[in-house]
Structure formats: structure tokens, C-alpha cells
Structure 1
Amino acid sequence: MTAYWIAHVTVTDPAAYAGYQALAPAAFARHGAQFLARGGLSETLEGPSLDRHVVIAFPSLQAARDCYHSPEYQAARAARDQACIAHVVIVDGVEGA
């Protein structure tokens, strides 16, 4: 069943964050990720306003977990350390959707 990686990111150091952007795609590609939303225009209807929203579909919850914990993604994550504030969750999709 499809699972989703949902991230809300506030970039605090764009130059340092570029290191993450250079490394992360390899991890996503290896684990079958498909970006559904990445940045772009957004409108906050409730709750705090956040800068950047990312929604990524994975073939399964395990694939999303494996991506996050992979050496490739952990290297990308280390590259963005101190360059952003990130909140990342993974969630199982709805069966049959």
C-alpha cells in the first residue's frame, strides 16, 4: 500500500541546504519515491504558517522507512544539519485509494 512522507521545512541557510538538495535525490530514486508536492505556492488555513511543504509517495511504508534510514539519506540529512528546521512524518495511505 502506498505510504507518504510529509515534510514541513523552513530553510535557514540556503547555501548549506544546497548540499542536502544535491545528495537527497539519490536516496529518493533508490526507494521508488515520487514527489507529489515540493515547495510551490501554499495557503495556511489553520495552524502555524510554514515555509515549505513536501509530499512524497512511496510504494510502501517500509520503503519510506528504508529511504529515511538509508546511508544515502542520512548523508543528505547531515548536510542539511543547521541549515533548516524540518518536521518529517511518514504515514500509511488509505487502502483502495
Structure 2
Amino acid sequence: MPKGYIIVRMTVTDPDTYRDYAAMASEAMRQYGCKPLVRGGRHEALEGEARPRNVVLEFDSYEAARAYYFSPEYQAAIAKRRPAGIGEVVLVEGAD
């Protein structure tokens, strides 16, 4: 079964509030079997516009990643994050 990935590209506008979001999101990740592959770090725009915060989360399946995203725990974290950053979040199914 292919793995599921959530890819986040974010520009943080309120670091203190975003830090609170990250703590809430980390707890939800633990609950839903997430393996963070990328959480920030050095980056370089090779094509197009880049954002300064990049995250790649791995789950056992597309469905597991979707369950995490729509969980009550992560939805509460999203409510905290929305005023603290601007960006994109994409759910992707991995290759077999």
C-alpha cells in the first residue's frame, strides 16, 4: 500500500503563535502515527517561489494522512495556525 504524505509550505507571520501551533500539531502527529521527514531546515528555490518553512510528513497510507488532517486534534491546531502564517498544505499519495 502506498504511503501518504502531507506537504506544507508556510510563511510564518507570528512566530510565537506558530510555536503554539507546532506543539499542538506535534502531539496530533504522535497520536496519528506520523513520521516527520522534513521540518524546516535549509532550503533553496530551484524553480518558482519558495516559502521559508517547509514540512513533509509521512503516514502509513493516504487514508491515515487524511485522518490526521481532519482529526479534532489537528483541526484545533489549524485554528491556532491560521492567524500565524500563510501557505499551502497538500496531501499526496506516494509511489508504490
Deviation at 1:21, TM superposition (A): 1.3
Q: The residue matched to 1:5 in structure 2 has which SS?
A: strand
> Alignment partner of 1:54: what SS?
strand
- Separation of aligned partners in 2, 1:35 and 1:19: 18
Q: How far apart are residue 62 of structure 1 and its match? A: 0.5
TM-score, normalisation: structure 2:
0.94
Which residue number corresponds to residue 25 of structure 2? Answer: 24
Query: Any unmatched runs of 5+ in structure 2?
Result: none
Match of residue 16 from structure 2: 15
Q: How does 1:1-97 map to 2 (within 5 A)?
A: 1-95=2-96
Q: Once the two structures are aligned, what percentage of the paired residues are identical?
A: 47
Count of matched residue pairs: 95
Distance 2:82 2:90 in 1: 17
TM-align CA RMSD: 0.8
- In the superposition, the TM-score normalised over structure 1's length comes to 0.93
Q: Which blocks of at least 5 consecutive residues in structure 1 are unaligned?
A: none
